[in-house]
Amino acid sequence: MPKEFRSLISLQEAKSIISDHLPPAREKAVALGSSLGCILAEKVISSQDVPGFGRASMDGYAVISQDTIVAREDRPVSLRLAGSVPMGRRPEIEISRGEAAEVSTGSMMPKGADAVVMIEYSLAQKGIVYIRRPAFGGENVQAAGSDISFGEAVLFPGTPIAAREIGVLAALGRESVRVRSLDVGLASTGAELIPPGRELLLGQIYDINSYTIAAGVEDCGARPRSYGILPDDKEQMARTLLRMAEECDMILVSGSTSAGAGDMIYQVIEEVGELIFHGVNFKPGKPTIFGIIRGKPCIGLPGYPTSALTVFAELAAPAIRSVLGRGHSENKTAGRLAGPLRTEGRQQMLAVGVSGDLVYPVDKGSGSITTLALADGVIEIPAGVEFLEGGSPVQVRLFSPAQGPCLVVAGENSLFLERLAEDLPWRLMLLNTGSYRGRIYLEDGIADLAAVSSPLEEAPKGEAKVVWSGKRELGLIYRDPSAPVDPASQRIVGWPRDSAMKEAFEQALTEMGIGAPVYVRLAKTHTAMAAIVASGRADLGFGEKEAASQAGLGFKPVVEDELYLLAGPKGLGNPRIKSLMSALPLQTI
């Protein structure tokens, strides 16, 4: 590329040139407590269930739901109090018909109990618990793996690690995580500069840029490495710049960039490397320099602190964020509710996701880690407000700086979509809602695309258009070859009710003579389904052939499924949808 020596170029051209010379990011393992602000470099797959056991989600009494069917305010059901379950310990009691056990929020459910009656609807006196309201099976109980399932992919490379991601990683028991890293060497120039803390002499000023630029580098997610103040001596300056190039991935130097008699950094860069441009046509970035030293990009910032920060924000910060996979951000964003919202009338901070200018609730309850994983921030609902109409303007307080545009795909889970989320250079958000809710999210504008299954679902209708379809083989997944022969005696793992996989699986089970299957647990993704079976937590499941193959499991074909990606009329011109289409296989998944 030809040099632009002291010839002004446009800001856009400067950005383009720097973008063409970016270094690759490194990877390193960091302690979980030190990972805040880092960028994830690995795909995180859960090695356990969260929670790892069935637990009470309310204070009250663990009961057998059938015992409470006839309970009324004026005709309470009386149950014998069998004991209590202490927090953090395995229950020493087992509940039989006609009995109840006292439990606290988060305590393990005793064997035999399948529901919890809130303490507000019960009364304990002299060893008897009076139940004034019926409870259905599973009420106020959080099942094992209902939050995060064993084998589920929960975080993908390129994800910024904020408080919610640290919460997810901690819930999985991770004490360290692999992150992207970038070392940025920093130096200031000028004979008039001295470090803060020393006594100023006449004509001297404190070095400001080394600290402000270091803070900016760290805010971008990179590691600043300070090389102090470079003297106005060509040989010493050259030695330090060469050492920075050896030890760092990128170099930022402030001062000595103008064309005055004492400004020499551009001369040194030309002598030890390649000077690509000197001068950018925007105020206050006119003296900006860019060059290459031993393969490492070097940006020369103006010496004035305000100018240095301005040029850093325009040129260096986007470059650093691009290498690490971070986007520009703000801590607040305005939006409008995607649909009507009913609240309790109390002041509330509601966890929400953000898709474009649409804001939608993702709150699964205070005990749910996946609320954190799905939420982009919170909105404040004032006391006394019980209903907000769809389209109401809201301000979202973001958990972490707002990321650049992403593409939201809601609907059926598929391994190929997970691979795309891992490999695409921009963020692909997957909401595993099932076909039915995927279409609703598309219609409401929350999702850019809906992934729906057919022929298990009726053919697409209305304004939604099919932009891609692919075939995948679905079938039984098992460890023991005898499992599909005698499914009635197996521990079966099923799918949530909104997934088309549930309908397909239960149709197959019906044909095998099982009309009302009882599942030991549910899985939300194909990888989780296979992992649960492979680990021995269940004997028989249903999912994609690829999931069984990756887990080393047996597979018996049941149906060839057609997976559609639907887009609304406004989404057909979305450049990210077009980019996604070019990355998808032509037909078979």
CATH of the domain at 357: 2.40.340.10
Helix (H) or strand (E) holding 39: strand 39-40
Domain at 315, CATH number: 3.40.980.10
As for how many domains the chain has, the answer is: 5
Strands (E), 500-553: 519-522, 540-544
146-169 tens-digit pLDDT: 888 999 999 999 888 889 899 999
Q: Are residues 357 and 445 in the same domain?
A: no
pLDDT in tens, 110-136: 999 999 999 999 999 999 999 999 999
User: Are 129 and 258 in the same domain?
Assistant: no
The amino acid present at 501, given as its one-letter code, is: M
Is residue 39 domain-shared with residue 157, that is, in the same domain? yes
188 within domain boundaries: yes
Same-domain pairing of 164 and 200? no
Q: Which has the minimum average pLDDT: 291-300, 406-415, 580-589?
A: 580-589
Residue 266 domain-assigned (yes or no): yes
Lowest mean pLDDT among 9-13, 322-326, 339-343, 457-461: 457-461
The answer to whether residues 506 and 392 belong to one domain is no
Asked if residue 109 belongs to a domain, the reply is: yes
pLDDT at 55 over 90: yes
Residue 372 has pLDDT above 90, yes or no: no
Mean pLDDT on 482-490: 90
In a domain, 37, yes or no: yes
Please determine, for residue 252, whether its predicted confidence score (pLDDT) is greater than 90: yes
Backbone angles phi, psi at 66, to 5 degrees: -60, -25
Final residue belonging to a domain, choices 301, 324, 347: 324
What's the Cα-to-Cα distance from 138 to each of 115, 171, 364, 517, 547, rounded to whole Å?
A: 5, 23, 16, 17, 29
Instruction: Determine the average pLDDT of the residues in 27-41.
Output: 91
Tell me if 1 is assigned to some domain.
no
Measured distance CA(280)–CA(5) in Å, rounded = 11
In a domain, 588, yes or no: no
Spatial distance between the Cα atoms of 53 and 233, rounded to a whole number of angstroms: 67
Q: Same domain, yes or no, for 340 and 223?
A: no
Pairing mode, if any, of strands 176-181 and 274-278? unpaired
In a domain? residue 235: yes
The CB density around residue 75, as the number of other CB atoms within 10 Å, is: 8
Give the Cα separation of 557 and 369 in Å (integer): 35
Say what percent of the chain tops pLDDT 70: 90
pLDDT for res 262: 46
DSSP string, 306-362: HHHHHHIIIIIHHHHHHHHT-----SEEEEEESS-EE--SS-EEEEEEEETTEEEE-
Does the pLDDT of residue 463 top 80, yes or no?
no
* Higher pLDDT among residues 372 and 578, named by residue: 578
The answer to whether the Cα torsion of 154, 157, 163, 167 is positive or negative is positive
**pLDDT (0 to 100) of residue 363:** 61
pLDDT band at 46 (very low <50, low <70, confident <90, very high): very high
Average per-residue pLDDT for the chain: 86
Is the pLDDT at 482 greater than 70? The verdict is: yes
Domain identity same for 68 and 202: no
User: CA 497 to CA 206: how far, in whole Å?
Assistant: 65
| Same domain assignment for residues 379 and 433 | no
Mean pLDDT within 224-229: 95
CB 493 within 8 A of CB 520: yes
pLDDT score of 142: 92
* Confidence at residue 335, expressed as pLDDT on a 0 to 100 scale: 87
Residue 92's domain comprises: 55-142
User: Could you tell me if 172 and 197 lie in one domain?
Assistant: no
Whether residue 435 is predicted with pLDDT greater than 70 in this model: the reply is yes
Q: What is the pLDDT of residues 69-97, one digit of tens each?
A: 999 999 999 999 999 999 999 999 999 99
Q: Which two tokens stand for residue 45?
A: 């797959």
Residue ending a domain, among 340, 368, 403, is 403
* CATH of residue 106: 2.170.190.11
- How distant, in Å, are the alpha carbons of 415, 418, 511, 527 from that of 554? 17, 22, 20, 14
Q: What is the model's pLDDT at position 345?
A: 72
Higher-confidence residue of 291 and 8: namely 291
Q: Do 434 and 393 fall within a single domain? A: no
> 561 and 418, same structural domain?
yes
43 vs 496: CA distance, rounded Å: 24
Pairwise CA distance, residues 179 & 148, whole Å: 22
Cα separation, 205 vs 464, whole angstroms: 64
Q: Residue 395: pLDDT above 70?
A: yes
Query: Which residue, of 290, 324, 358, is where some domain finishes?
Result: 324
Domain-embedded: residue 3 = no
Residues 215, 359 share a domain: no
